[in-house]
Structure 1
Amino acid sequence: MRNEYLKIVHELLLHNPYNGFYPPIKAPSRFNVEVPMFIHKMRRWGLAHTHLDDVLAHIKETLYCYPWMKSEPVTNLLNFAGDVYYIYKGKYFKAFITIYLPESYPNDPPQAWVVCEDGTTAIDPVQMHVAPNGSVSIPYLWDWDGKSSTLLQFILHMSVEFTSQPPTFAIDVGINLSPNQELLKIILDYRITHLYDEIIKITPARTYAFFDEVAKRYPPVLADLAGHIRTSQRGVNEFIDIVAELLGQPSKTISKNMFITILVVRVLVVIRVTLEYVTLLRSETKKSTNHSRPALERVQRFCNTQRLTRLVEGEGACTPTVGFMSGRDVSCHCG
């Protein structure tokens, strides 16, 4: 399956030496002079690449096809950065890519990241080839061959992948919103409802560290979101409830005070119903002893009414019943 997939991609790329999805950008004629001069300059940078000639040849080939990209050394190893263009639903888009060439390149594959630094785009969690931190993983890297794979082909394959599954999506940050409105908007814009499944599991002790991690994984605007949730009263539970409402689900959290309130109400209902039974039973038994049996029968019928059932129904509730062992005992059987 993987080989068939790569074969299709190669056929697509054969239609255009740059890529098959947007018009080729021809390098300016001056590049015939400037690129060799730049490559010669690179040799004096003291680079640590084991196969420096291969590295420079790959960069030269790539610069002729992507003249707007830049290459510079970082700790004696080359990085390659710039926009990769692709077409999605008939429109042109671009993603800023940073590519790191390891010391053993081309024997080992390059590492690439999609960078969202401008705050107007974010990594799309729905697509399959870019992780939340921007790390790129495509089939071409999985089958990397140090003898035949090249930097240019890697970029072309990225363009193909992004055409089918765009790595980013645009967000609107130009509206002044309240903190809770910002919560909902960021959940929608950043498509981070998947955090809902994580947040309902965290303990209060891990809340601070969790939202710090959230702020690191997503663009800087999320730092405000993390701070709001962390510092606002009942912030975490409020966030969970808002997301639950957004997803059309019932609330997943109940505060401790709310739980106690519900428990007290249930106990009061049971006490009230029990007192009603006792009062009714005493009033009936004070009548003539000749009528004691009909009185008890009336009490029994009262206990079986739908009103009583509604008052005490619910898991764990206590159901008072009239005992007939002595004709006047009242007991409470807990389910």
Structure 2
Amino acid sequence: MTKTSPGRFFEDYRLGETIRHAVPRTVSGGERALYHALYPARHALHSSDAFARACGLPAAPLDDLIVFHTVFGKTVPDISLNALANLGYAEARFLAPVWPGDTLTAESEVIGLKQNSNGKSGVLWVRTRGLNQRGETVLSYVRWVMVRKRDATAPASETTIPELADAVPADDLVVPPGLDFSAYDTDLAGEPHRWGDYEIGERIDHVDGVTVEEAEHMMATRLWQNTARVHFDATAREDGRRLVYGGHVISLARALSFNGLANAQVVAAINGGAHANPCFAGTTVQAWSEVLDRATTSAPGVGALRLRLVAQTAEAEPFSLKGDDGRYLPGVLLDLDYWALLPS
């Protein structure tokens, strides 16, 4: 009897089932140091305990995307080990800060299934929760992924496509307990631009670029314990190229957005996201943002911006997104819609 597993295929999922993911992971300052080494990340709230304490927190929480990547990585062996592509995200809410020493686990509920017309694959929707050692949900999100079928002749599950919100309502954003930007120090944060300085419709070119290195994207994939074959096994794709983990592109773009959005300290929610085109080592990633909405919060000195963050190749036209046919242009890598908290 074999003791190894090839992973789940599309026909193995059942609507409504809950999957508890292995393996619990205790996160520490090591993850923070590696995260800041892999990406040019330097938002002050996650870099300095002293800065965080001046903003009402007991210490610097781990970067929000560290939490996302860690929880996401837990799900891969059960959800996307045999994925052809990770297609999108919705309804992601960061519900509680994660501190060094916290232990994260994850579980997912299957909320949608749709076999593709070719009969060789299907789209799977799951709602995933990341929990800490006290059983508190720190992150909740929906993602959908295209998964291979083991047997093309296997009967298809009944099609169920979940209804998902276009955006997380501003009233549902969770502000970290104690966060207070009343005495916020813009000099230490790196830029003077506050919530009131941004206008709906404004576009920001983040200017800088980062070339993706093979060693770095592979280290990142392993750091988050992401086991999807397309990311680390060059034989898993017909072109013999290792696909860069989409979260690596998200973190690169978020880090690049510091230039123009240095005070967007907290990622409070991800409304939606699409990996528009594949990214490979050697690609130079640039980024731009668009202000989609603004909202106030009940926390002192804290406002919220809804932002579109676009990652694109260096060859793409600035602020380009979609063609006349409504499809993403070839140079667009990521289209991410999220809420950020910053000083008002």
Q: Same fold (TM over 0.5)?
A: no
Q: Which has the higher contact order (CA 8 A, sep 6+)?
A: 2
TMscore range, shorter length: under 0.3
User: Which has the larger share of helix?
Assistant: 1
Identify the structure with the greater strand proportion. 2
TM-score after normalising by structure 2: 0.21
